[in-house]
């Protein structure tokens, strides 16, 4: 793996030749491990799929806080007749509640606050609060029978995104890029963006471990693309340092490092030289990524007026498409705003307005560009919400629903998931799965399956054990697949 001085300078002086550089990196072009990890045969290369993958890319549209499946995805017309009657104790007792309502004296039923309607040729029933998502219903695979043991936000999100309620494991995206490597030379393989409801009523925080590498090499961690300041930390050259000067300084650096490589012979030096070149390239490719001037008016209109606002969920959805088409493997949008304990009546509609159109636009946009076939879109949050009311029903802004882990809904699109399909069903109270129950680990296994991995074999030896995303659980849910 020696890099000759001429090879390197010949490439970099012209600012070209990234493909050649990538060849020097032994693996996926964006970062590499130093040294060989114990027990990791071939740790220097991406693991590669176990079987032909159905999907190449993933975008997670994370809806933090716990969207109310009762109001949005899981119609229970029968609850109207039971309005404000007690949820049967036999139903309630079987599930854990958060301590916010586990001591509540009364559990009156509150049916969905808005009507449902059928959408698309498939006739999928969704809330009228989600007209745009309804518009792409025939692309969606809606799961109404998910469950998780978590009843609080941070453990719930951590379980969904890392496979364990406790922080410390690699995230879903880190596993995916560990397995698949990168399609891009000059963008990170795993990119994260955040947004929140505009009134900041939700209070859900985003922690680094939601996109962390855990015990995998840190190059697999998600890189945040930020709405303000440097879009990627430390991307901008220092003030006063022109691109030409930076280029010249990097050429000096390369010359000196090459000299040192000749004298010391350590291949790590060659790796380092390549990383500095890629850094320079990234400084050019990221601004290009962010430049929306060549997006057509009709595309921008699809995502809605909020797309003009940096850091909005709509803007992040559009950025997600641009990242995916540039070869980023895993895009994770973290949006918060669904934790409506007491403001369901006032905030649910606001949340839907902010997220409905952009979410649907991303699906449609990927579809019209032919990317949806091999891109998985996942929409959902850490759990659902109770069909009983929390708080003071007499106050419009004083009531809502508590967390419910025992049953909730999510939807997927593309990447080989069945469009226009509803999987599973909940009981009469949307409180427990009644058929087709799927645990979070099952859906994780299914996602990895679509990426070409047996979730039991995508492992990393850590502390004497082969860890995997799904811990010791998970079955591929073949019923979701086309």
Partner 1 sequence: MLPLSVVLLSAVQLPPAGLRAPAPPVDFAREVAPLLADRCFACHGPDEAAREAGLRLDRREDALMPAESGRRAVVPGAAADSALVARIEHPSARQRMPPPSSGKELSAAERATLARWIDEGARWSSHWAWTAPEAAAAPEVRDAAWCREPLDRFVLAGLEAAGLAPSPEADPITLVRRATLTLTGLPPTPDEVDRFVADVAREAAARAADGPAGGAARPDAYDRLLERLFASPAYGERAALPWLDAARYADSNGFQQDGDTQQWVWRDWLVQALNDDVPLDRLATLMLAGDLLPAADARAAQEQQVATAFLRLHLLNGEGGSIAEEQRNVIVFDRVDAFATTFLGLTAACAQCHDHKFDPLTQREYYALFDYFNRVPESGRPDTGGAYRLAEPFITVPSNADRVLLAQAEGALDAAEAALTQQLAAPGLLAAEADWAARTLADARRLSLGPWEAAAPIPATSFDGAYATAWEAAKGWAPRPELVDGAVHRLTGEATAFFFRRALQVEPGPGSASEAGVTLHFGSDDGLRVWLDGALVLEDKASRAAAPDQARVSVTLAPGAHTLVVLIANGGGPGGLWFEARVAGLPVQDAAELAGALPSDLPSDLPRDLPNDIAGEAGARSPETAARLRAAFLAAAPPTEVAAALAARDTRRAELEALRATLPRVMVMSDARPRETHVLSRGNYEAPLEAVTAGTPAFLPPQPPDARGDRLGLARWLVSAENPLFARVMVNHAWQLVFGAGLVKTAEDFGAQGAAPSHPELLDTLAVSLRAGGWSAKELHRTLVASATFRQSSRLTGERGARLMALDPENRLLARGARRRLPAMLLRDVALAASGLLVRELGGPPVYPYQPPGIWDGLAITKEREFTYPQSSGAALYRRSLYTFWRRTVAPGNMFDASQRQACKVRASVTSTPLHALTMLNDPTWVEAARALAQAAMHREAGLGAQVEFAFRRVVARGPAPDERDVLTRGFMRAHERFAADAAAAEALLSVGESARDVALDSAAHAALTVVCLTIFNLDEALTCE
Distance in angstroms (rounded) separating the CA atoms of residues 388 and 235: 49
19 binds partner 1 (CB under 8 A): no
From 130-138, 210-218, 415-423, 444-452, give the range in contact with partner 1 by CB under 8 A.
210-218
In the set 22, 31, 71, 410, which binds partner 1 (CB under 8 A)?
31
Distance in angstroms (rounded) separating the CA atoms of residues 206 and 222: 13
172 binds partner 1 (CB under 8 A): no
Residues 405-434 that bind partner 1 (CB under 8 A): none
From 162-170, 319-327, 364-372, 420-428, give the range in contact with partner 1 by CB under 8 A.
162-170
Structural contact between residues 190 and 176, judged by C-beta atoms closer than 8 angstroms: yes
**Shortest spacing between CB 203 and partner 1, in angstroms:** 4
Place of tokens 């991307």: 235
Tell me how many residues contact partner 1 (CB under 8 A): 104
In the set 240, 294, 296, 297, which binds partner 1 (CB under 8 A)?
240
- Eight-state DSSP code of residue 297: H
Distance in angstroms (rounded) separating the CA atoms of residues 304 and 324: 20
96 binds partner 1 (CB under 8 A): yes
Structural contact between residues 239 and 247, judged by C-beta atoms closer than 8 angstroms: no
CB-nearer residue toward partner 1: 245 or 301: 245
**Shortest spacing between CB 104 and partner 1, in angstroms:** 12
10 binds partner 1 (CB under 8 A): no
93 binds partner 1 (CB under 8 A): no
**Shortest spacing between CB 208 and partner 1, in angstroms:** 5
Q: What ranges make up the beta strands (E) of 38-123? A: 57-64, 116-119
From 171-179, 274-282, 363-371, 426-434, give the range in contact with partner 1 by CB under 8 A.
274-282
From 212-220, 357-365, 438-446, 474-482, give the range in contact with partner 1 by CB under 8 A.
212-220
Residue 450 dihedral angles phi and psi, to the nearest 5°: -65, -25
Place of tokens 């994780």: 444
Residues 352-391 that bind partner 1 (CB under 8 A): none
In the set 208, 288, 291, 435, which binds partner 1 (CB under 8 A)?
208
Structural contact between residues 164 and 157, judged by C-beta atoms closer than 8 angstroms: no
Rg (CA), the chain: 24
Distance in angstroms (rounded) separating the CA atoms of residues 67 and 383: 7
Residue 288 dihedral angles phi and psi, to the nearest 5°: -60, -40
In the set 134, 173, 181, 188, which binds partner 1 (CB under 8 A)?
188
* DSSP symbols for 89-105: HHHHTTS---TTTTT-S
* DSSP symbols for 128-150: TT-HHHHHTGGGEEEEEEEE-S-
Instruction: Measure Cα distances from 15 to 24, 234, 248 in Å.
Output: 16, 20, 12
Structural contact between residues 422 and 431, judged by C-beta atoms closer than 8 angstroms: no
Distance in angstroms (rounded) separating the CA atoms of residues 302 and 172: 29
104 binds partner 1 (CB under 8 A): no
114 binds partner 1 (CB under 8 A): no
217 binds partner 1 (CB under 8 A): yes
348 binds partner 1 (CB under 8 A): no
Q: x/- site string to partner 1, residues 36 to 65, per CB under 8 A? A: xxxx--------------------------
Residues 218-237 that bind partner 1 (CB under 8 A): 218-219, 223-224, 226, 228-230, 232-237
**Shortest spacing between CB 296 and partner 1, in angstroms:** 31
Q: x/- site string to partner 1, residues 69 to 88, per CB under 8 A? A: --------------------
239 binds partner 1 (CB under 8 A): yes
From 10-18, 51-59, 122-130, 398-406, give the range in contact with partner 1 by CB under 8 A.
398-406
CB-nearer residue toward partner 1: 6 or 465: 465
Distance in angstroms (rounded) separating the CA atoms of residues 276 and 110: 58
Structural contact between residues 247 and 2, judged by C-beta atoms closer than 8 angstroms: no
Residues 438-467 that bind partner 1 (CB under 8 A): 457, 461, 463-465
Residue 142 dihedral angles phi and psi, to the nearest 5°: -95, 130
CB-nearer residue toward partner 1: 223 or 376: 223
Name the residue among 423, 195, 188 with its Cα closest to residue 326.
188
309 binds partner 1 (CB under 8 A): no
In the set 12, 22, 33, 331, which binds partner 1 (CB under 8 A)?
33
In the set 184, 402, 416, 426, which binds partner 1 (CB under 8 A)?
402
Distance in angstroms (rounded) separating the CA atoms of residues 180 and 172: 12
**Shortest spacing between CB 266 and partner 1, in angstroms:** 5
């Amino acid at each position: 793996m020696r890099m000759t001085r001429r090879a390197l300078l010949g490439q970099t002086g012209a600012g070209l030749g990234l493909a050649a550089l990538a060849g020097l990196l032994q693996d996926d072009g964006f970062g590499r491990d130093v040294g060989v990890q114990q027990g990791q045969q071939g740790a220097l290369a991406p693991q590669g799929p176990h079987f032909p993958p159905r999907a190449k890319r993933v975008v997670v549209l994370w809806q933090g806080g716990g969207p109310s499946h009762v109001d949005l995805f899981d119609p229970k017309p029968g609850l109207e007749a039971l309005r404000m009657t007690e949820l049967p104790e036999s139903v309630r007792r079987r599930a854990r509640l958060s301590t916010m309502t586990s001591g509540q004296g009364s559990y009156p039923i509150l049916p969905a606050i808005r009507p449902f309607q059928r959408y698309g040729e498939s006739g999928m029933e969704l809330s009228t609060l989600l007209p745009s998502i309804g518009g792409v219903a025939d692309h969606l695979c809606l799961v109404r029978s998910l469950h998780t043991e978590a009843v609080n936000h941070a453990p719930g999100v951590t379980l969904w995104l890392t496979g364990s309620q406790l922080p410390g494991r690699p995230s879903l995206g880190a596993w995916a890029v560990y397995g698949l490597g990168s399609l891009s030379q000059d963008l990170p393989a795993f990119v994260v963006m955040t947004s929140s409801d505009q009134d900041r009523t939700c209070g859900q925080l985003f922690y680094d471990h939601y996109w962390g590498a855990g015990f995998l090499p840190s190059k697999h961690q998600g890189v945040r693309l930020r709405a303000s300041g440097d879009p990627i930390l430390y991307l901008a050259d220092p003030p006063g340092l022109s691109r030409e000067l930076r280029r010249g300084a990097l050429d000096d650096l390369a010359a000196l490092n090459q000299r040192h490589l000749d004298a010391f012979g350590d291949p790590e030096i060659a790796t380092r030289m390549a990383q500095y070149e890629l850094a320079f390239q990234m400084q050019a490719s990221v601004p290009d990524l962010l430049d929306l001037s060549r997006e057509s008016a009709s595309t921008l209109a699809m995502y809605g007026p909020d797309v003009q606002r940096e850091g909005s969920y709509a803007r992040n959805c559009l950025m997600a498409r641009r990242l995916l088409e540039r070869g980023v493997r895993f895009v994770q949008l973290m949006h918060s705003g669904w934790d409506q304990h007491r403001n369901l009546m006032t905030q649910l509609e606001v949340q839907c307005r902010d997220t409905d159109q952009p979410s649907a636009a991303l699906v449609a946009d990927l579809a019209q560009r032919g990317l949806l076939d091999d891109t998985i879109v996942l929409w959902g949050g850490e759990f659902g919400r109770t069909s009983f009311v929390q708080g003071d029903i007499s106050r419009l802004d004083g009531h809502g629903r508590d967390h419910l882990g025992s049953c909730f809904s999510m939807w997927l699109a593309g990447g080989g998931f069945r469009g226009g399909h509803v999987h599973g069903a909940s009981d009469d109270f949307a409180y427990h799965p009644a058929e087709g129950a799927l645990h979070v680990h099952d859906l994780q296994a299914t996602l990895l399956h679509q990426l070409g991995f047996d979730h039991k074999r995508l492992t990393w030896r850590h502390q004497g054990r082969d860890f995997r995303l799904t811990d010791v659980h998970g079955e591929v849910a073949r019923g979701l697949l086309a």
